[in-house]
Amino acid sequence: MAGMTKVLIVDDDALVRAGLTMMLDGADGISVVAEATDGADVPGTLDAHPVDVVLMDIRMPKVNGIVATQQVRARANPPEVIVLTTFDTDDNVLKALRAGASGFLLKDAPPSRIVEAVLRVAAGDPILSPHITRRLMDQVVTSADAYTTARTALSALSPREHEVAVAIGQGKTNAEIGAELFVSVATVKAHITRILTKLSLGNRTQIALLTHDAGLS
């Protein structure tokens, strides 16, 4: 198992679990080490089977994927979460991203796309394109409370970190941000790391959502 990306599949549909397990176990560098039928089973399963990536269904009968994602990301050294959905217009996708998911996949995505997504998030790379992130954010109207909370949170950033956060919210890549601010990509990544730490966020998608709530992107 050394060097393998270990995966937990969480879905109440036995056929979906079986198909994903067969697909991922047949891919180089990936091993499905456990399955769960509901979000309620996730904490105990992770205690018994530590993994790198969780493939999480959104709609489940007892504990849904949004709540389960929050619980996963609150753990010490949490695995990455990719949520599974039938429709990419589902507003629950945005809720799952706010909860800390690294991205989402449609259940009918090509096998190669699913394998690529698992390996990428395990390596710390985002799987949501800026375009998709913007489209999801544009579906919602920010409440007054969310606006105030976001503005307060962002006030903890330095001026340069604030610029980087806003650029992320505008859908810009690290290379584009670096060119705009006349700094290296490595410097941009360092700013992002500090932003995530200061704001207690898990990934750049959550930064983008926060700047959206603050009315800055």
Nearest-CA neighbor of 80 among 51, 113, 43? 51
Residues 30 and 123 in one domain: yes
Task: Supply the pLDDT for residue 129.
Answer: 63
178: amino acid identity, one letter: G
The answer to the question of residue 17 being in a domain is yes
pLDDT greater than 60 at residue 94:
yes
Q: Provide the number of structural domains found in the chain.
A: 2
Of 67, 102, 127, the position where a domain reaches its end is 127
pTM: 0.81
More confident residue, 95 or 67: 67
**Alpha-carbon torsion (122, 124, 127, 132), positive or negative:** positive
Domain of residue 42 covers 5-127
pLDDT greater than 70 at residue 90:
no
Task: Supply the pLDDT for residue 7.
Answer: 97
The answer to the question of residue 134 being in a domain is no
46: alpha, beta or left? (left if phi > 0; alpha if psi -120 to 50) = alpha
77: amino acid identity, one letter: N
The answer to the question of residue 199 being in a domain is yes
Which whole number is the average pLDDT over 85-109?
Answer: 82
Task: Supply the pLDDT for residue 92.
Answer: 82
Residues 62 and 116 in one domain: yes
Task: Supply the pLDDT for residue 93.
Answer: 83
Domain CATH for 182: 1.10.10.10
Of 97, 127, 157, the position where a domain reaches its end is 127
Three-class SS state of 170: coil
Q: Output the average pLDDT for the chain.
A: 88
Confidence bin at 139 (pLDDT 50/70/90): low
Of 127, 162, 187, the position where a domain reaches its end is 127
Residues 75 and 18 in one domain: yes
Task: Supply the pLDDT for residue 34.
Answer: 96
The answer to the question of residue 33 being in a domain is yes
Q: Can you state the angle between helices 159-169 and 174-181, rounded to 10 degrees?
A: 140
